[in-house]
Amino acid sequence: MSDRYTKSKELYKKAITLMPGGVNSPVRAFAAVGGEPVFFKRGQGAIVTDADDNKYVDFCQSWGPLILGHAHPKVVEAATLALQDGLSFGACCEKEIELADLVLEAFGEYDRVRFVSSGTEAVMSAVRLARGVTGRSKILKFDGCYHGHADHLLVKAGSGLITQSIASSAGVPDEIASQTLVAPLDDEKAVEQIFEKEGNEIAAIVLEPMPANAGLLVQRKEYLQFLREITLKHGALLIFDEVISGLRLRFGGYMHEVGITPDIVTLGKIVGGGMPVGALVAKEEVMEQFAPNGTIYQAGTLSGNPVAMAAGKATLELLKEGSVFEHLNQLGKVQDECFNALKEKYAFFNFVRQGSVSWLHLAEGDSPRSPADVKPEAIELYNKHHRDILDRGYYIAPSAWEVAFASVAHQKEHIEGIANAWEDIFKKYM
């Protein structure tokens, strides 16, 4: 039998001689799920094509940015037109203003936005802003929540770190790590105890309100409201990291789903339409403390890049119309029907969904709300059968801790297809 991944294996063999682990982001190495990574050369709509010309229905969608699917015509057209005027200026351009208008329309509680080049940079800047505004140095984050790879945020993080069972990163000085306090998710008492002890030193709580980097860990609204209240009580800021959830469930953020207004919201992924863009939004009195008006320095040569701004604008204009979310909500109902039917047949199966974000927890019991609730057997089962799903023509994240994303390019048959693929695997191996 011929090997369907011959070219990918050849490329990986070359890549490992040039880049650490052969990759530029650790989870891509397929270390958790085994085998060599797949190399892609083309994406169109819901379909990606690898170096060996195998086609897959893509439920990763570049880890979330591609809510419109790969190479959406209007986004490609906007970026192409911008390219013709120049790749980068390192100076002001009108496209920054156009995207800023749309972002602030989606997040109407705020009146200032600053664009950066990644979600990591957005959260890093938000933390610096909170420290500068409050004059305090410590931040409180939560076990399993991933906020990018800035030093002070790589303490008990999720995403690739949890995939590799790394609680924190080498290269982060103890002096920096000591300024980051960590609490378990879904535990009011633990947060209260931290604030009782160190509340006067805490600049901010930073949280994914819809944690999606250590599984999809849906939080209670009451818990999120508690975090809002305790920060107000102690004079700390509340930062919602909506790099994944922002613009994913609606033309707005998860904050609008739960009715809670944080002091700062960070965005990424969708806001750039697939290009490297991040952003943070806040009220004028907070955001204007950034340079050049204030004393908190933040800068970026490629911030406000005209091509990225054009792609983001085209994406947000389509999201604003509402039909994208109507389609995604209909797909969500199909997902519920398909995967809940599987759950009835297989006791070890658990399906969690928030809008077009979903996660399989292949174990019995309630849906986890913290990483500690994620069962090892669920991780083992997912990793064991990841390649089986690939072989059946579906690309899913190479980590059991990562979520899946649907796009407007996905159709009912794509959802039914992957559900059938999982059932086929269960029948064959269970």
Residues serving a catalytic function are: 146, 241, 269
Q: Pick the closest to residue 206 from 270, 138, 254, 287 (CA basis).
A: 138
Residue 146's Cβ-count burial label (10 Å; 0-12, 13-18, 19+) is buried
24 phi-psi bin (left φ>0, alpha ψ -120 to 50, beta other): alpha
The residues pairing with 166 across neighbouring beta strands, listed in sequence order, are none
d(CA 190, CA 187): 6
Q: How many CA atoms lie within 13 A of 383 on its CB side?
A: 18
* End-to-end CA gap in the chain: 25
30-40 as b/e: b if 16+ CB within 10 A: bbbbeebbbbb
